[in-house]
Structure 1
Amino acid sequence: MSFRLAAYAVCVEDGRVLLARYVPPSGEPLWTLPGGGVEHAEDPLDAVVREVAEETGCDAVVERLLGVDSRVIPAAERNVPGPEHHNVGIFYGISVNGGRLRPEPNGATTEPTWTPLPDVTGLRRSSLVDIGIALWRTLPATGHVDPVPVGGLIQH
């Protein structure tokens, strides 16, 4: 089993959420939240600020911790070949205080965009989007929301 600790940004402004298009090595592109792997000895808060800058060109300010999601993705359901995968995602509510939207240079994410919240349900997207928006909307005291079912437009 592989393991990844990641930090994700949920930025909602004027009824729109900041998303980026992820292009996996194999499979169809899907929309996701800005964010990614926490590097060795890196603080997850610093990681989310770094990832937002890398993937969107925007300068992020962390406003609050929203919660943590832990899930095991079966090998057969992964977007990339490999064994089953354990992902622990730390979700932060952020605001943008500068920068300009641009694609990630030489990266796997493209097309950062502000998407109206009602339009999200019609997008082919990562389950991370639904988890992050649910955490942002409900701010659960436990920092945890129920698992998001995967299938149809919602992928791992």
Structure 2
Amino acid sequence: MRHGVWLLAVALGLVACRAQEPALDQALTVEPMTLARSARCAPGDARVRWFDDADALVAGTGSLVDAGTADGLDWRSQAAVGVWLGERPTAGYGLSLADSRQQGDRLELVVRRQTPPADAMVAQVITYPCLIVTVPRTGYSTLQVVDDDGANLGRLRPGVE
């Protein structure tokens, strides 16, 4: 009888301790916010770029993010990240934020690439798709951007690159 009571107490103690731990996915999930996305971004190669302040964001994104929007961000707790796909041969290409997750000291942004269907009638115009999102400034040492197929689009060390 004593062993049964002791085992019950240990089991309840373990359950209580486990219940106080946040679920791993919930504790590490972050929710970046999309600031802008376009197919008419500044020409250039595919890249990922970190923005530390409003001036850098406005200068680095041309007219895509206006000064009012950039000034309205809480730059003490967040920064911005730009993802550019580079040159595309037609309309119909784009980027959107699909997911974000923190794994250890790495924040991973998952972006969805939109491509026009093979048989689509699209404008024959060169486009430069990009996506600008806000991210928490702290809580990780590496920011990894991947597409929804897992392909690496870029990696940054916030505040360093």
Considering the TM-score relative to the shorter chain, is it more than 0.5?
Answer: no
Q: TM-score, normalised by structure 1?
A: 0.29
Instruction: Select the structure that is richer in strand.
Output: 1
